[in-house]
Chains A and B, each alone.
Chain A
Amino acid sequence: ILMLSLALGTMITITSNHWVTAWAGLEINTLAIIPLISKSHHPRAIEAATKYFLTQATASALMLFSSMTNAWSSGQWDITQLTNPPSCLLLTAAIAIKLGLTPFHFWFPEVLQGSSLTTALLLSTAMKFPPTTILLLTSHSLNPTLLSTMAIMSIALGGWMGLNQTQTRKILAFSSISHLGWMTIIITYNPKLTLLTFYLYSLMTTSIFLSMNSTNTLKLSTLMTSWTKAPMLNTTLMLTLLSLAGLPPLTGFLPKWLIIQELTKQEMTTTATIISMLSLLGLFFYLRLTYCSTITLPPNSSNKMKQWSIKKPVNTLTPTL
């Protein structure tokens, strides 16, 4: 029932041209996901659910307020017709809270940490989709300077704060923050590239989450001993992690390349260089993850050969994209 309501919520926001339908779809999404987060009756999970709920509720209220000021000044509730500049600013701030961009990113790693791996997957891929569609619909009337500053800061923060983490879910949270920065930097110039980056990012993160779900690795230390359980999974995990980092022969490099190309077309070469330098920070902990998963050997040899047959063939296919 919950998955159906999630799908319904996303479909409502995607197919909306009125502000109230978009808001309603977003509320349905938050409503559906909160019991998923707090399913395990662990205090950490419930705390994560409350944090998530508070932030998302304020963001949706802000969005409603921006639509209302727009309706007051221009008399219409169409999504593509944002004519009031302060309502545009408020809307970008509200969607930034929802997505987890940099001034408002504080809830995201903690919420991902408190939820189980599958719900974390849902949170970071499926829940990002409706706010990005709203951004896409209004991309021609948004404020580029605010968006680009938020995006650069989010890439920087995603790289810096991910350096000291040992919990894999927090690492993936910071990686998603930096990827969101990449997505939002190009949205005012070429919104199709944001869609492309979103699809590729969601594919890669689903593969990583599912592989981590099958071996149940929550810490770096469990990553080191995971090669005994399913060796093929380990190699594919390494490849997907490297593609998340954006190394050239793998598919993760493609959106970064195209974004840098678009930015240089708009004569923003300094931002392009800054972004590419900051993604090196992310590369460090991706490399550390691959190093821990494949190259190191555990102190004691463990002969666990448990059979995890859930969605393994997906992971072997996705890095070969």
Chain B
Amino acid sequence: IPLIYINIILTFTISLLKILIYHSHLISSLLYLKKIILSLFIITTLTTLNTHSLLTNIIPITILIFTTYKTTINLTLLISISNTYNLNYIHNLNLLQY
């Protein structure tokens, strides 16, 4: 049904826009990154289940595995930022401008 398809693509695009136009915290952009990849995961599972092909069933699982890698590194970077900076706001990221 294409309506589900349109819905998931909407989630992807809206979360992508949320990353690009961030509010104040960095953590929100990371959250929307996670949401992007989750929507992609849902799309892959739908395609693999609809086409009934056995080889492409590996794809969603591998995507999940790599997203776990990414999220761990997300959180470690956040921790290091909070260790060196006083605040978590994005306007504090202008040390490298000069």
Contacts and interface: CB of A to CB of B under 8 A. Distances in A.
B63 A64 contact: yes
Contacts of B93: 47, 50-51
A68 B44 contact: yes
Interface stretch (A53-61, A205-213, A250-258, A278-286): A53-61
**Interface core residue of A20, A41, A54, A61 (most chain B CB under 10 Å):** A61
B51 interface: yes
Contacts of B89: none
Contacts of B5: 72
Interface in A8-35: 20, 23-24, 27, 31, 34
Q: At the interface, is chain A mostly helix, strand, loop or mixed?
A: helix
B66 A24 contact: yes
Given A20-B62, A31-B69, A57-B70, A65 B96 contact: no
**Interface core residue of A57, A58, A77, A114 (most chain B CB under 10 Å):** A57
Contact of B73 (A41, A46, A53, A68): A53
A38 interface: yes
Given A38-B77, A50-B81, A27 B69 contact: yes
A113 B94 CA distance: 12
A46 B70 contact: no
Nearest to A34: B73
A64 B40 contact: yes
Contacts of A31: 69-70, 73
A49 B77 contact: yes
A183 to B, nearest CB: 26
Given A46-B80, A57-B70, A75-B51, A24 B62 contact: yes
B14 interface: no
B33 to A, nearest CB: 5
Nearest to B5: A72
B10 interface: no
B96 A46 contact: no
B77 A34 contact: yes
Interface of A: 20, 23-24, 27, 31, 34, 38, 41, 43-44, 46-51, 53-54, 57-58, 61-62, 64-65, 68, 71-72, 75, 77, 110-111, 113-114
5 contacts: A41-B80, A43-B85, A61-B40, A68-B40, A110-B97
